[in-house]
Structure 1
Amino acid sequence: MYDVLVIGGGNAALCAAITAQEAGASVLLLEAAPKEWRGGNSQHTRNLRCMHNAPQDVLVEAYPEEEFWQDLLKVTAGKTNETLARLVIHSTESCRTWMKKHGVNFQPPLSGALHVARTNAFFMGGGKALINAYYRSAIALGIKIRYNTKIKELELNDSKFVAAIAEDGTRFEAKACVLAAGGFESNLNWLKEAWGKNEEGEWIADNFVIRGTRFNQGNLLKFMIDQGADIIGDPSQSHCVAVDARAPLYDGGICTRIDCVSLGIVVNKNAQRFYDEGEDFWPKRYAIWGRLVAKQPSQIGFSIIDSKSLGRFMPPVFAGKTANTIRELAVLCDLNPEKLEKTVNGFNQACIKGEFNHTVLDNCHTQDLTPAKTHWATPLDTPPFYAYALRPGITFTYLGLKVEEDSAVRFNNLPSPNLYVAGEMMAGNVLGQGYTAGVGMSIGTTFGRIAGKNAAKAALIKETI
């Protein structure tokens, strides 16, 4: 029997496993995916958001606690547990030292349109390199790993963990357990149930793509909900990004994102704008656009720019539609040409000339236009014009298990003595809605380490008679 069983194979699971092993516990990690797909959604990440009161290695200037908190408060519209959020924020000030110890390297600060040189530390080689580093460290420490192991249920004695049962019937006993198996974003039927139908009677989730891993089916989360574990979060809330409509159904990751939204306009299939494209910096708003597109007819949108925007954003993997006139562009996108011309002309006439600067919240905005564009509003008047079709891309869901600072799973508000949770399975405690770049990895790193520490402590307590 192992001291600690960790169920999951991504960032939070690995942080838990490594921390528990460092605390003196013997650890077995169970990953549902095969080795080549290990790492969950963490393999698709690039960075984590970090608090710092002065320049630190790869982070410039300062990003103090209160600013981090206000950024999180704004994107979640107050749907967050402040105590847990501030716990995450504080943890990020020092976690990189521990990460480096386990082989994670960081690249020099970024600048330009991403606006994250001050707030986010980027992994050298991306999330895949981070995951590989953690697995190397885990193996070197003596952690045992099993791939292709999907857990269907847990054996519980009241709220105490006894064993995990795999789909093939294998039983894994341990003195303590950490659940870090992700949300239910890959479960299309559950997504359809959560999002329901639109006014046209269509299942909203029918046009979704899964930006993240295909292996997060939510089976363990569903089991825990059925067992009466305390839960938190809206099942329809998620990290939902507007991605290229040609993206694959699963595992498209970062490269499917369209990053020119704030530099132009976005219209639906009726050639109508429906939200302020320049509301705030893109890293603070990119994760609202999937949900916005999901609310549009047929869950489709089109990001439209002119040639002035080229070079100001990360170019997409797939080329967009290109035309010398808005009318021609509309035809290529199967949009009504008259309606799109009217939308673009109305937008152009509403633009108030200012000093355009896509690296700051500039004074280029619209007047007497609904919806307004608050920043970076310049006329679309310089051909060629470009259009990128958008669909909602789900990265991870926010419905999860309710926790407090100890990361213990709770039943009727009472903590389990030996069952803990980390990562996407509890991120809804901090993320009730919305997202700001890198905070998912911040949550997973923080609560993974807390869960691993407390699981080891629970497992190593000597029984007394």
Structure 2
Amino acid sequence: MIQQAKTYDLVVIGGGNAALCAAITAAEHGSTVLILEGAPKPYRGGNSRHTRNFRCMHQEPLAVLTDRYTEEEYFEDLLKVTKGKTDEKLARVAIRGTEESYAWMEAHGVRFQPSLSGTLSLSRTNAFFMGGGKALVNAYYRTASKLGVEVMYEAQVTHLERCGNRIEAVEFTHQGRSHRLTPKAIIVASGGFQADLDWLASAWGPAAKNFLIRGTPYNKGAVLRDLLDQGAESVGDPTQCHAVAIDGRAPKFDGGIVTRLDCVPFSVVVNNAAQRFYDEGEDVWPKRYAIWGRLVAAQPEQVGYVIIDAKSLELFMPSVFPPIKADSIEELAEKLTLPPEALQNTIEEFNAACRPGQFHPTELDGLATDGISPAKTNWARPIDTPPYYGYSLRTGVTFTYLGLKVDETSQVQSAEGPIENLWAAGETMAGSILGQGYLAGFGMTIGTVFGRIAGKEAANYAKH
């Protein structure tokens, strides 16, 4: 039996950054707000718990951000990683919204810090959260509580009842009972479907069973599927996602950002036959780290291996699990279960192709190989200084890009036009902007800017 419960102006589905920005904004615009968070309280916040920075446009040095980062440069960076697969109007709304959002975030409890060693290439573009994503999430929950926002944890939304071009009711389960709410407006900010491994495999094929899920195990896309089944317009490709090459020893779910390995630009990367398969030095890591999840996914058994030497060990953020260490390439191969002779040949061929030049670890240095394929176009130094180190790599999926199509006001669209009391923010609509690829800190950009837009629009609708 579905029980009629208290009525709210606005129900926000999800409990991460986008949901919180929406809820806070709506409350400040006079709405009574309920957040339905599917996770238990200790795991609240979705993937936002694992974030660490926010990509921010600015015209001059801004607090912890150095120099300037213009709208046009930001947009060009996005075009590079998406290869043009983006909605320019929505992308520019997100980009323009970041500069003003910095002050808004600080005013609502978020604290920033300068870039850490190993992330200096981001000092101009990305503002880092003091205490990471967990601190940001906790700050927003404190702010929301002060504004009277109510939160229900372990509240699994099962159905949004669409009638014509409105959502009439929200149905969910909590503490073993079914409930039904009839709010004036609804904001969906409940992420992608990456934690539903069957859905992931239906898009990717059996290879997806070997993927690791970096983020929350609660993002199974139930609300997304429910709305798509009822005619909400979709955007994005189900095989596109934010996929990163992560430490192969990471847990199946919820390993978070600490499982990412940032050593690829200074390494040789091989598959399980000890063969290189892509340019490790194509661009600075924040613009290329997200392509490596898909590259590894295309390799046999969806696995890769990173090989570095002693002179590169201090050039990247430390890994959460220590690297495998050996005194020779052959010994390292055995420890990584790679064919020793094949790895030795690959490393020797690579070393012979390296050319003299100036090495600059934080910028494109043009230090490239000559005469091998694939080439390494930057940071190509011989792997010749023992001890040697290695990591296994697996595909770590953060969030999927299939989502709800929205307009510039974050309102959800259908074939019959906008669904008049439904908005979406964050990962559940990010496919509108991210057709493929990823830019470091851009998920937080989308969630923050469109969360605030959705909160304002939904509150105004509820009021009038």
Coarse TM-score class (shorter-chain normalised): over 0.9
Q: Map 1:113-132 onto structure 2 (within 5 A).
A: 113-132=119-138
> Where does structure 1 lack aligned partners over 5 or more consecutive residues?
197-202
Alignment partner, residue 421 of structure 2? 418
Q: Amino acid of the residue matched to residue 49 of structure 1?
A: R
Contact 1:230–1:413 (CA under 8 A) maintained in structure 2? no
Q: Does the residue aligned with 2:30 lie in a helix, a strand or coil? A: coil
Give the 3-state SS of the residue equivalent to 2:112 in structure 1. coil
Which residue of 68, 79, 84 maps to 2:85? 79
**Cα distance in 1 for residues equivalent to 2:363 and 2:186:** 46
Q: CA deviation at 1:112?
A: 4.9
Partner AA of 1:50 in structure 2: C
1:114 is displaced (CA, Å) by 4.2
SS at match of 1:359: coil
Amino acid at match of 1:226: D
Residue in 2 that maps onto 1:139: 145
Residue 182 of structure 2 corresponds to residue 173 of structure 1: yes
The secondary structure found in structure 2 opposite 1:177 is: strand
Please tell me whether the aligned partners of residues 275 and 343 of structure 2 are also in contact (alpha carbons under 8 angstroms). Answer: yes
Identify which of 212, 217, 241 aligns with 1:238.
241
The DSSP-based 3-state class of the residue aligned with 1:170 is strand
Q: CA deviation at 1:111?
A: 5.5
177 and 38 in structure 1: CA distance in 2 versus 1, 3 angstrom threshold: same
Identity across aligned pairs (percent)? 58
**Alpha-carbon contact 1:50-1:89 (below 8 Å) kept:** yes
Determine if contact 1:256/1:316 at 8 Å carries over to the other structure.
Answer: yes
User: How far did residue 363 of structure 1 move?
Assistant: 2.5
Give the partner amino acid of 1:172.
L
How far the C-alpha of 1:159 sits from its partner, in A, is: 2.0
Q: Distance in 2 between matches of 1:410 and 1:351?
A: 53
What is aligned with 2:199? 190
Corresponding residue of 2:9: 3
Aligned 1:379-390 pairs, distance under 5 A: 379-390=382-393
SS in 1 for 2:458: helix
Q: Is the 8 A contact 2:162 2:230 kept in 1?
A: no
Normalised by the size of structure 1, how large is the TM-score?
Answer: 0.96
Q: Counterparts of 1:426 and 1:253 in 2: how far apart (Å)?
A: 21
Q: 8 Å contact 2:214–2:397 — kept in the other structure?
A: yes
Q: CA deviation at 1:135?
A: 0.3
The match for 2:368 is 365
2:45 paired residue among 31, 39, 42: 39
* Aligned ranges 1:227-306 → 2 under 5 Å: 227-306=230-309
- Deviating beyond 3 angstroms after TM superposition, the runs of 4 or more aligned structure 1 residues are 109-114
One-letter amino acid of the counterpart of residue 6, structure 1: V
Cα separation, 1, equivalents of 2:407 and 2:212: 32
Report what 1:200 is aligned to: none
Partner of 1:206: 209
Query: Letter of the aligned partner of 2:178 in structure 1?
Result: G
In structure 2, C-alpha distance between the alignment counterparts of 1:413 and 1:386, rounded to whole Å: 57
How far is the alpha carbon of 1:353 from its aligned partner?
A: 1.3
CA distance in 2 between partners of 1:308 and 1:215 (Å): 41
Does structure 2 conserve the Cα–Cα contact (< 8 Å) formed by 1:60 and 1:109?
Answer: no
Measured after TM superposition, the shift of residue 113 of structure 1 is 4.6
For residues 237 and 276 of structure 2, the distance between their equivalents in structure 1, rounded to whole angstroms, comes to: 27
Matches within 5 A, 1:97-112: 97-110=103-116, 112=118
Following superposition, the deviation at residue 109 of structure 1 comes to 4.0
Query: Secondary structure, in 3 states, of the residue corresponding to 2:154?
Result: coil
- Aligned residue identity for 1:456: A
* Cα distance in structure 2, aligned partners of 1:371 and 1:264: 14
Residue 424 of structure 2 aligns with an amino acid whose one-letter code is V
Give 1:413 shift: 5.9
Q: Which residue is equivalent to 1:221?
A: 224
* Correspondence for 2:68: 62
Q: Secondary structure in 1 aligned to 2:457?
A: helix
Give the whole-Å Cα distance in 1 for the aligned partners of 2:117 and 2:334.
37
Give distance in 1, aligned partners of 2:44 and 2:121.
30
Cα offsets for 1:37-94 (capped at 9, x unmatched)? 0000000000110000100111110001111000000000011001100111100011
- CA gap of 1:113–1:438, structure 2 versus 1, over 3 A, is closer
Aligned to 1:430: 433
User: How far apart, in 2, do the equivalents of 1:120 and 1:190 lie?
Assistant: 33
What whole-Å deviation, never above 9, does each CA across 1:301-334 have from its counterpart, x for those lacking one?
A: 0010011102111111111221111111111111
Deviation string 1:239-271 (CA, Å, 9 cap, x unpaired) is 111111110111111111111111011000010
How many angstroms apart in 1 are the aligned matches of 2:335 and 2:153? 46
Q: What is the rounded CA distance, in whole Å, between the counterparts of 1:413 and 1:347 in structure 2?
A: 57
C-alpha RMSD of matched pairs (Å): 1.0
- Quick one: distance in 2 between partners of 1:161 and 1:23? 21
Structure 1 CA distance for aligned equivalents of residues 100 and 371 of structure 2: 47
Inter-partner Cα distance in structure 1 for 2:64 and 2:168: 43
- How many equivalent residue pairs? 455
Deviations 1:435-461 (A, max 9, x none): 110000000001101111111111111
Alpha-carbon deviations, 1:324-375, whole Å to 9, x = none? 1111111111111111111111111111111011011112111121111010
Write the deviation string for residues 150-170 of structure 1: whole angstroms up to 9, x where unpaired.
001111111201111013420
Does the Cα contact within 8 Å between 2:118 and 2:317 map onto a contact in 1?
Answer: no
Counterpart Cα distance in 1 of 2:117 and 2:79: 24
- CA–CA distance in structure 2, aligned partners of residues 114 and 194 of structure 1: 36
SS of equivalent residue, structure 1 residue 366: coil
